[in-house]
Amino acid sequence: MKFFYLLVLLIIFTAFNEKKPIEQAHQSSHQEIIYAIKNVNIIPMTKDNRVIKNATIVIKDKKILTINKPIPNNAIIIDGKGKWLIPGLIDMHVHNLADGPYTSYPTKGPAIHFDTQNFMTLYIANGVTTVFELSARAEHIGQRNEIIRGDIIGPRIALAGLVDGSNANMTATTPSDGRQTVRLAKGEGYEFIKVYSQLNKETFKAIVDEAEKQKMKVVGHIPNEFKNNTEEAFVPHFGLVAHAEEFSNQTDKFTEKEAEKFAKISKKNGTWLIPNLSNLVCIAKQARSLDSVRNLESFKYVHPLMQSKWIISNQYNQGTNPKRVAYYDQLVDFHIKLVKAFKKEGVPMVVGTDAGTSGIVWGFSLHDELKLLTEAGLKNEEAIASATRLAAEWLEIDDKIGTIEVGKFADLIVLDKNPLENISNTSKIFGVFVNGKWIDKSKINVMLSDVERWNNANKKIYNWKEVIKKIREE
Ligand SMILES: [Zn+2]
């Protein structure tokens, strides 16, 4: 009898351990590759950030296995001589292209499909290995799943469901609706809540309170109703302001004193800031001329529908006049004042670009933002921290990414030159590790030229006005 049980146990055990050949192949291709970067200068972006010169770093099973320990025999060696290693970058404010919009009849599905790989390539080519989607839809969850499955090479994606007082995927006009919306968002799989401009005061407060109960952090706009009474919006658990523009919308006085007042309010409430200078700088340029968009080096990588939209239907340029240009210039100036004031007050800032709005190209824009932040007074190291360690901290994944330390996921950028000396060097990319997968410069170039080729071949199909007309007619 004993023997019989043993036999049954053995059969069960073998059955569980017997992998189908295809699974084995899948696993071995993912798990067994060990990489070692030799002689590289590591900028770990930890709090003390001591640069480790001429170091050896070993990457295995998606993670950093060792730093300055012996290299395993079967490792693939990457020569890092004279190169610099930083953590993968995090963009804390993006709007990703995903399938939509929906029209006509129930089974029809979205009118436009976007190729997820072509889109995500823009991030990967720029070393952006985590993004925070600030108006998440179900399609964004789908994109994230494609990446997690390994079908697509793309960044980690954090998702915030957007709630507004009107015209949003999720709308709420009363406190009880607001609370219910938060619970629904949680159920749908969003980890964060984004609050928006048209919420009334009481609904806004209820949403932030309910989000705390549901353990969802809150990012977003300061609703318009709080104008000239900004401090009232800074309730506990309002965690992150989505752009400096939120403060310029709250006042008509663009002074240093006003900037300091906002910094103090934020400090007191523990609310962080995404300055998002690149967007306003870009808006000011577009108000002058659309050549600033057309002539972007990265414009050719933008999906043709968006290329067309940014030119044909550009809200900043249409009907522009010198008064508007002067106003935007004033805003840019005030936003720089805000960055200085927030730095002085010691309010943490994280890098976000609002990628997806006209002229702000996914991935590429992050390097522009870093540069602008240093011009506004952040040290190079502080700007990089805002796009690595601090961003990971706000997202509460700083035990997984954001610094270069043993045990963390291998989201890494190998740079040709030192970004602590010149911030523009963050875009001198030699190769990128995305969740432990090595993508070197030649692979990046192939991926980018695939995108460019597809975009050029499909320009005619994706004229903005034609597409919109067609969707309305269907
Ligand atoms: Zn945005």
Band of pLDDT at residue 100, cut at 50, 70 and 90: confident
Q: What mean pLDDT is reported for the chain?
A: 93
Distance 24 CA to ligand 1 centre (A): 42
Could you count the other beta carbons within 10 Å of the beta carbon of residue 49?
15
**pLDDT tens across 119-149, in order?**
999 999 999 999 999 999 999 999 999 999 9
What pLDDT sits at residue 25? 41
- Based on its alpha-carbon atoms, the radius of gyration of the chain, rounded to whole angstroms, reads 24
Distance 297 CA to ligand 1 centre (A): 22
Contact between 156 and 462 (Cβ < 8 Å): no
Answer yes or no: is pLDDT of 28 > 70. no
Helix (H) or strand (E) holding 430: strand 429-434
Mean pLDDT over 51-69 rounds to: 98
SS3 call for 415: strand
What letter would DSSP give residue 417? S
Residues 6+ apart with CB under 8 A from 447: 121, 124, 125, 153, 439
Mean pLDDT over 458-463 rounds to: 94
Distance 10 CA to ligand 1 centre (A): 57
CATH no. of 89-403+451-457: 3.20.20.140
Contact between 169 and 185 (Cβ < 8 Å): no
Answer yes or no: is pLDDT of 16 > 50. no
What pLDDT sits at residue 34? 97
What pLDDT sits at residue 36? 98
Distance 357 CA to ligand 1 centre (A): 7
Q: Which protein residues have their CB within 5 A of the ion that is ligand 1?
A: 354
- Which segments within 121-264 are labelled E, that is strand? 128-133, 156-164, 170-171, 192-195, 217-220, 238-241
The residue type found at 152 is: I
Torsions phi, psi for 162 (to 5 deg): -95, 130
Cross-strand pairs, 240: 219, 272
What letter would DSSP give residue 72? P
DSSP 313-326: T-TTTTT--HHHHH
Distance 184 CA to ligand 1 centre (A): 22
Mean pLDDT over 380-387 rounds to: 98
Distance 219 CA to ligand 1 centre (A): 11
**Token output for 135:** 């108006």
Q: Buried b / exposed e across 161-171, counting CB within 10 Å, b at 16+? A: bbbbbeebebb
When mean pLDDT is compared across 53-62, 95-104, 349-358, the lowest value belongs to 95-104
Q: What angle do CA 351, 357, 320 make, to 5 degrees?
A: 120
Q: Which residue has the tokens 């933002």?
A: 369
**pLDDT tens across 192-240, in order?**
999 999 999 999 999 999 999 999 999 999 999 999 999 999 999 999 9
Answer yes or no: is pLDDT of 427 > 80. yes
- Higher-pLDDT residue of 111 and 212 is 212
What pLDDT sits at residue 31? 54
What pLDDT sits at residue 105? 81
What pLDDT sits at residue 166? 95
Answer yes or no: is pLDDT of 439 > 90. yes
Q: Buried b / exposed e across 235-266, counting CB within 10 Å, b at 16+? A: bebbbbbbbbbbbbbbbeebeeebbbbbbebb
Distance 254 CA to ligand 1 centre (A): 22
What pLDDT sits at residue 147? 98
Distance 93 CA to ligand 1 centre (A): 6
Band of pLDDT at residue 468, cut at 50, 70 and 90: confident
Q: Label residue 112 exposed, middle or buried (CB < 10 Å: 0-12, 13-18, 19+).
A: middle
Q: Which of 351, 413, 403 is nearest to 376 (CA)?
A: 351
**pLDDT tens across 144-187, in order?**
999 999 999 999 999 999 999 998 989 999 999 999 999 999 99
What letter would DSSP give residue 36? E
What pLDDT sits at residue 311? 97
When mean pLDDT is compared across 1-10, 74-83, 221-230, the lowest value belongs to 1-10
Distance 238 CA to ligand 1 centre (A): 17
Distance 244 CA to ligand 1 centre (A): 12
Could you count the other beta carbons within 10 Å of the beta carbon of residue 79?
12
Distance 242 CA to ligand 1 centre (A): 7
Distance 94 CA to ligand 1 centre (A): 6
Answer yes or no: is pLDDT of 368 > 80. yes
Distance 383 CA to ligand 1 centre (A): 20
Distance 133 CA to ligand 1 centre (A): 9
Helix (H) or strand (E) holding 262: helix 256-269
Q: Label residue 48 exposed, middle or buried (CB < 10 Å: 0-12, 13-18, 19+).
A: exposed
Residue-range domain boundaries for the chain: 1-29, 89-403+451-457
CA distance 266 to 262: 6
Distance 101 CA to ligand 1 centre (A): 18
What pLDDT sits at residue 107? 86
Contact between 22 and 45 (Cβ < 8 Å): no
Mean pLDDT over 327-340 rounds to: 98
Distance 177 CA to ligand 1 centre (A): 23
Distance 137 CA to ligand 1 centre (A): 14
Mean pLDDT over 48-60 rounds to: 98
Q: Which residue has the tokens 């508007």?
A: 324
Cα distances (angstroms) measured from residue 90 to each of 212, 369, 407: 24, 12, 19
Residues 6+ apart with CB under 8 A from 26: none
The residue type found at 100 is: G
Mean pLDDT over 354-369 rounds to: 98
Answer yes or no: is pLDDT of 360 > 70. yes
Distance 354 CA to ligand 1 centre (A): 5
Mean pLDDT over 388-415 rounds to: 98
Contact between 80 and 89 (Cβ < 8 Å): no
Q: What angle do CA 157, 159, 164 make, to 5 degrees?
A: 150
Distance 279 CA to ligand 1 centre (A): 10
Torsions phi, psi for 39 (to 5 deg): 60, 35
Distance 192 CA to ligand 1 centre (A): 14
Distance 85 CA to ligand 1 centre (A): 30
Distance 411 CA to ligand 1 centre (A): 25
Outline where 395-463 has alpha helix (H).
441-457
CA distance 150 to 375: 38
Answer yes or no: is pLDDT of 29 > 60. no
What is the pairing mode between strands 84-87 and 412-415?
antiparallel
**pLDDT tens across 250-292, in order?**
999 999 999 999 999 999 999 999 999 999 999 999 999 999 9
